[in-house]
Amino acid sequence: MQNPMVTQSLISVLIAALVVFRFAQHELKERVVKANTLWIRPVILLAITVWLIVLTLSVDPSGTPEMIVALIAGIVLGAVTGLLIVANTSFRPADVPNAVRVQGSRITFAIWIGAFAIRFIARFVVPHGADPRTQLPLNAGTVALVAAAFIVIALAFYRAIGRYRNPPGGY
């Protein structure tokens, strides 16, 4: 029988997976990113990360060391993921104020899929990774990875918006 708290945490990971998959799909198309909507994803993902931390601490306080390791690993891998995404993304001026045109590539799509695959690999690498109590710390680390990546990406997009704010020839 599955623990309801583990089910809730899996729902959180599925939400993160949906966010990543939708964003990864957008990587293949040029799109306009506006400054006023830039921080929506990072804030939502940070809120889910905090919720998973609280959930993990309340359901299985003995899993705190594993959660801390998963969070640190997730944040580091998320920062690297974000940097790799930004390095493989092209930017150009948008036709609207406070925005930038961005386009990823198949490389950025593959980076997203690879980053998310790490979570499922962890299930087999981490001792007792299939144990429901281990799922909560792993899920917290996974969502922290996605949140950190989106924060790095949002910062880079914000800088690009500033850089292309007044393109030659105007809007």
**Region 143-158 average pLDDT:** 96
Judge whether 129 lies within some domain: yes
Q: What is the pTM of this model?
A: 0.81
Cα–Cα distance measured from residue 133 to residue 1, given in angstroms and rounded to the nearest whole number: 13
Judge whether 156 lies within some domain: yes
In the chain, the amino acid numbered 46 is L
Q: Identify the weakest region by mean pLDDT among 4-18, 27-41, 50-64.
A: 4-18
The whole domain housing 15 covers 4-163
Judge whether 21 lies within some domain: yes
Cα–Cα distance measured from residue 171 to residue 167, given in angstroms and rounded to the nearest whole number: 7
**3-class DSSP state for residue 127?**
coil
Residue 128 has what pLDDT?
62
Judge whether 153 lies within some domain: yes
**Region 131-147 average pLDDT:** 83
Most confident of 13-17, 27-31, 124-128, 156-160: 156-160
**Region 72-94 average pLDDT:** 95
Judge whether 159 lies within some domain: yes
| pLDDT more than 70, % of the chain | 81
Judge whether 171 lies within some domain: no
Judge whether 122 lies within some domain: yes
Sequence-separated (6 or more) residues with CB below 8 Å from residue 103: 27, 29, 30, 31, 89, 90
Give me the number of domains the chain comprises. Answer: 1
Judge whether 169 lies within some domain: no
